[in-house]
Amino acid sequence: MTRYGGRRSQAARDAITVEIGYALCSAAFAAAVVLGAVTGPALLFELPGAFETVLRHTGALLATLLFAVRTVSVLIRFRRADQPGLPGRTDHGS
């Protein structure tokens, strides 16, 4: 049921499914890039033990945070685009 008491159409359900898939895939890609960029030097070079550990933990933390933030931001943007504007007003590309 929608907020207005009606049922969602199949097209609306499909759009939500596609948007969730896009959010998860783009978040996973961004997280993998950040993880590789931060932890890559620890894997490629001989670094002091503490520095290597800090890089690995920092990379994992940043990748996790980026995944969550990216997923939520894509879904919020989709939700805002799906909401109708105020009655009597037009929305021209804002």
Give me 18's structure tokens: 């596609």
Q: Choose among 53, 29, 58: nearest CA to 42.
A: 53
Averaged pLDDT, 17-35: 96
pTM for the whole thing? 0.73
| pLDDT band at 47; cut points 50, 70, 90 | confident
Q: How far apart are CA 11 and CA 75, in angstroms?
A: 17
**Helices 10-44 & 49-82 angle (0-180, nearest 10):** 160
Q: Is 39 a residue whose pLDDT tops 90?
A: yes
User: For residue 84, what pLDDT is reported?
Assistant: 61
